[in-house]
Chains A and B, each alone.
Chain A
Amino acid sequence: MIAWTGRKTVEGVAYAADILFLGFLAFKELFSPARHGRGEASRVIVRQILFTGVDALPVVGALALMLGLIVIIQAGLALPQVGAGEFLANIVVAALVRELGPLLTAFIVVWRSGTAMCTELGNMRVGQEIDAIEAMGISVVRFLVMPRMVGTIVALACLTVYFDLVAIIGGFLVAKVTLTIPFLVYLEDIGRALSVTDVLITVVKSALFGLVIAVICCHHGLSVAGAVTEVPQQNARAMLNTVAACLVLDILVSVAFYVR
């Protein structure tokens, strides 16, 4: 048991070190003065933003609307019963903007884009495409990881803001059927409850989630050794580890910024 715990701990530390190192290399490439290949990287970044961000708008919008509706109806009905009806906006900001928005958007991106990234890179490994890229003297991190990381960070930050807007406004408009609060009063309350810091922390948190998703999924895709059967296995590991990493990161950010 002790040996197993020790082995797992060592493996965990080595895994975290690999992820951090890959993230470091990707950032290094991002700020590298070398101009060569920037056009190609820009094309991949745009493609990644389109796939991760624009293509996900309908599903993120639908989820945001439904979740906003649930939170607003439940809070709007329950809070007045305990004499705290005026705190609806505070609950909406705390639940939707600070926590559920970034987290659920990140999960959608993990399921859509994270799996796609991991599968694509895994298949590229199997098809010797990555060997060919290395054989051409092109850095795999510069060619494959860095553009995906940047694209995912940008797309996820934008998607989270979109999620929050749809959840707050759309959710309320739909919930209006059962609630008696006027829309303008609700908006004023939201404005008072929502600080600039909340918005900044949400965007920073989303950017960190984007970074974690891209780096972990790329790491697992690149870890495929050569068999096609490894691709779904690495995909499953990437999904689990990414979701866990996002949750841990969320706790750390929340504790760092909100616990006084």
Chain B
Amino acid sequence: MGTAVIELDRVMANEGVLAHVEEFSLTVHGGEAIALVGANRSGKGLALKLCAGLAAPASGSVRVLGVDPSAASDEEILHLRRRVGFVFAKPALISSLSVYDNVAVPLRYHTELPESAIRERVMACLAECGVDVFHDHLPAGLTMGGARLVALARALVSDTELLCVDEALFGLDAGELVRFRGLLEKYRRDKGLTIVVSVNAPTSLFALMDRLVLMRDGRLVAVCPPAEASRVDDPMVQDFFGNN
């Protein structure tokens, strides 16, 4: 097992009245794939942002890739974020830029690669995600699934060490889900990518995960391998897996 990439220790945090997490502790090691699982409003989205260093805890400690985001300088935060790919539930593509430019943005800002090398890398990444035919389209012309795959390409095009995907299933059709899962498998296998996703329904993605982190009302219910999750003695978990 690799070194700890994410360390959350008794974290409490909230996003207004919309979401909160309480007494949340979790350690994710390098190359691991985990899923934060729970119903809507269970706090998994906020937990995911904490894992990516995008949200600040009210109490407790957070370390992402060895950095404590709440104690880091602006420069350190920017550097940390370059190493973390985050895919929002809404695709959040920059609406005034083409699909190609959206994926090229992190390379243009964080590397000194010439435009020809950027083009090669971006088109390869778009092709992997199956959205290269849309490279000159604006995001408004894409389906939700297509836009989320472009957002995934944008998160993967840099040398990302940690990938966080919010509401991993949102907007993907069956074919896109297969492609999405294949990409996660490939990047994990080939590049040792650490993966954290949040999901609100049982999914075939669970087969890819080392652990499921089951959440309810902002609290951690259980952390277990996917095969054991449906046996966790908790009403939310039983509802989630359709056992009730």
Contacts and interface: CB of A to CB of B under 8 A. Distances in A.
B134 to A, nearest CB: 18
A62 B131 CA distance: 46
Interface string B75-111: 0011111101010101011111000000001101111
B94 A124 contact: yes
Contacts of A39: 108, 115
Query: Which of B77, B80, B110, B151 gathers most chain A CB within 10 Å?
Result: B110
A133 interface: yes
Interface string B108-135: 1111100100000000000000000000
A240 interface: no
Query: Which of B52, B90, B151, B154 gathers most chain A CB within 10 Å?
Result: B90
B110 A36 contact: yes
B116 to A, nearest CB: 13
A129 B81 contact: no
Interface in A102-128: 120, 123-124, 127-128
Contact of A40 (B81, B88, B92, B105): B105
A6 interface: no
A131 B88 contact: yes
Interface string A126-152: 011101111111110001000000000
B95 A127 contact: yes
Contacts, number: 67
Interface residues of B, number: 27
Contact of A129 (B78, B82, B93, B109): B93
B54 interface: yes
A159 B94 CA distance: 29
Contacts of A192: none
Contacts of A37: 108-109
Interface string B50-94: 001010000000000000000000000111111010101010111
B140 to A, nearest CB: 10
B112 A36 contact: yes
A132 B108 contact: no
Contacts of A134: 54, 81
A35 B112 CA distance: 8
Nearest to A225: B16
B52 A138 contact: no
Query: Which of B93, B109, B115 gathers most chain A CB within 10 Å?
Result: B109
Interface residues of A, number: 21
Majority DSSP secondary structure for residues of B touching A: helix
Contacts of B95: 123-124, 127, 129
Contacts of B90: 127-128
B109 A136 contact: yes
Interface in A35-53: 35-37, 39-40
B108 to A, nearest CB: 5
B202 to A, nearest CB: 26
B65 to A, nearest CB: 12
A132 B78 contact: no
Given A133-B94, A135-B52, A128 B88 contact: yes
A120 B97 CA distance: 13
A131 B49 CA distance: 11
Contacts of A127: 90, 92, 95
A36 B92 contact: no
Nearest to A139: B78
A135 B54 contact: yes
A168 B20 CA distance: 63
Contacts of A129: 92-95
A117 B32 CA distance: 42
Contacts of B77: 137
Contacts of B105: 40, 136, 138
Query: Which of B94, B96, B106 gathers most chain A CB within 10 Å?
Result: B94
Nearest to B118: A39
Interface of B: 52, 54, 77-82, 84, 86, 88, 90, 92-96, 105-106, 108-112, 115, 151, 154
Given A135-B84, A138-B110, 8 more contacts: A123-B95, A124-B94, A129-B92, A129-B94, A131-B88, A134-B54, A135-B86, A137-B78
Interface of A: 35-37, 39-40, 120, 123-124, 127-129, 131-139, 143
30 contacts: A35-B112, A36-B108, A36-B111, A36-B112, A37-B109, A40-B105, A40-B108, A40-B109, A124-B94, A127-B92, A129-B95, A131-B88, A132-B86, A132-B151, A134-B81, A135-B52, A135-B81, A135-B84, A135-B86, A135-B88, A136-B81, A136-B105, A136-B106, A137-B80, A137-B109, A138-B78, A138-B106, A138-B109, A139-B78, A143-B109
